[in-house]
Amino acid sequence: FVEEAGLAAWIQEQVAAIDLTDADALAAVSERIRARFREQPMPPEAAAAIRRAYRELDDGPVAVRSSATAEDLPDMSFAGQQDTYLNVVGEDALLEAVVACWSSLWTARAMGYRARNGIDQRTVRLAVVVQRMVQSEVSGVLFTANPLTGRRTETVIDATFGLGEALVSGQVEPDHYVVETATGRIIEKRLGAKATVIRSRDGGGVAAETMDRAQEQALTDDQIRELTELGRQVAAFYDFPQDIEWAFAGGKLYLLQSRPITSLFPLPPVGDAEDLHVFISFGAIQGMLDPMTPLGRDVIKAIFAGGGRLFGYETDYRSQKVLWDAAERLWGDLTPMLRHPIGRRLYRWAI
């Protein structure tokens, strides 16, 4: 679409001509770019392919979502930077939504976020995902690790009535549940106001309703446990903690999207990671708060191993189990010491 319309070079000229830290300039160039997208006709071959695929979905309501090359990277998340269009009905409306979604690669917030994170504006691309619309009674997000505490053994669920747009856009205070993943035991249950409910409209689009359901639990306890088990399976499949969007419709659970959680601080790779461990930052004790080089970490481990040999402990710095790497820093595992009465007394004396 961009190449056939001859937009690629023109877009880069527009972006290169402004200060990407200037919010007003970003907004102005974004509007110019998106207006040009709206003016361009969809290439006939692309339009025909989209129409055929839409008919295979029985011409029903669909969600039009972005999938950009710079989204959900291991060290940053671009979630919410591009646009989503819900309950799109009809072929013509779908074609318009696809073009609008393509153009959302150039929203002011997306360009600004890329600039702040050092992403080259010339390298980004965006595809559009069209999904059959789930008319959810309850929806929300699930984290297979607690994003506030970092606990990998806890599942956190936020839930609200209606479509999840109200939650992900920050329009509603959702219910909040914390679950012990291994057992399904609900540790915390906090009901939110859930004052705004977004539902699909007949004929396409969505509408917000105001409701008072603060005392009504969005999910039953059985649904909370069903969600927790789904999250556990998805995280095991990807072998990494996941941020999941989900929905219940007609009593059936739907998995809408899964992406890695990018905000968790890395854990030292201890063998029994399921057990609780107490780590102390070697760098913080020494007043070295910046990341350490691999050579620096290996030297400190070698010195530590040499000190152990003075007390009769033969150990290799590469196989020792006290100092661990995480986030380019060294962490001392105090767990064995704190499990012993004498060790606890020594720790209190040292601290």
Task: Return the CATH number at 97.
Answer: 3.30.1490.20
Tell me the average pLDDT across 328-349.
84
Comparing CA positions, the residue from 253, 200, 190 lying closest to residue 227 is 253
Comparing CA positions, the residue from 301, 306, 156, 127 lying closest to residue 241 is 156
Q: Is 270 within a domain?
A: no
Instruction: Note down the domain range covering 20.
Output: 8-132
Q: With a cut of 60, say whether residue 78 has pLDDT above it.
A: no
CB environment 210-223: b (16+ within 10 A), e (fewer): eeebeeebbbeeeb
Among 229, 260, 291, the domain-final residue is 260
Q: What is the pLDDT of residues 297-322, one digit of tens each?
A: 889 888 877 776 766 666 777 777 78
Per-residue confidence (pLDDT) for residue 274, from 0 to 100: 62
Q: Is 273 within a domain?
A: no
Q: Residues 99, 100, 105, CA angle at the centre, nearest 5°?
A: 100
Residue 245 has φ and ψ, to the nearest 5°, of: -100, 135
Q: Do 289 and 338 belong together in one domain?
A: yes
pTM for this structure? 0.78
In terms of pLDDT, which residue wins out, 290 or 175? 175
Comparing CA positions, the residue from 64, 5, 77 lying closest to residue 34 is 5
Q: Do 25 and 119 belong together in one domain?
A: yes
In which residue are the tokens 């039009």 written?
Answer: 64
Instruction: Break the chain down into helix, strand, coil percent, rounded to 5.
Output: 35, 25, 40
CB atoms within 10 A of CB 21: 10
Among 132, 153, 179, the domain-final residue is 132
Comparing CA positions, the residue from 176, 182, 186 lying closest to residue 232 is 182
Burial of 158 (0-12, 13-18, 19+ CB in 10 A): buried
Pair 234, 255: CB distance under 8 Å: yes
For the chain, give the percent of residues with pLDDT over 70: 93
Tell me the average pLDDT across 9-29.
93
Pair 133, 86: CB distance under 8 Å: yes
**How many domains would you assign to the chain?**
3
Q: With a cut of 70, say whether residue 80 has pLDDT above it.
A: no
> What CA–CA distance (Å, rounded) separates 304 from 322?
9
> What CA–CA distance (Å, rounded) separates 99 from 41?
9
Q: Is 269 within a domain?
A: no
> What CA–CA distance (Å, rounded) separates 298 from 303?
9
Pair 228, 184: CB distance under 8 Å: yes
> What CA–CA distance (Å, rounded) separates 301 from 316?
9
Q: With a cut of 60, say whether residue 34 has pLDDT above it.
A: yes
Neighbouring residues of 168: CB distance < 8 A, sequence distance ≥ 6: 80, 141, 245
Q: Is 1 within a domain?
A: no
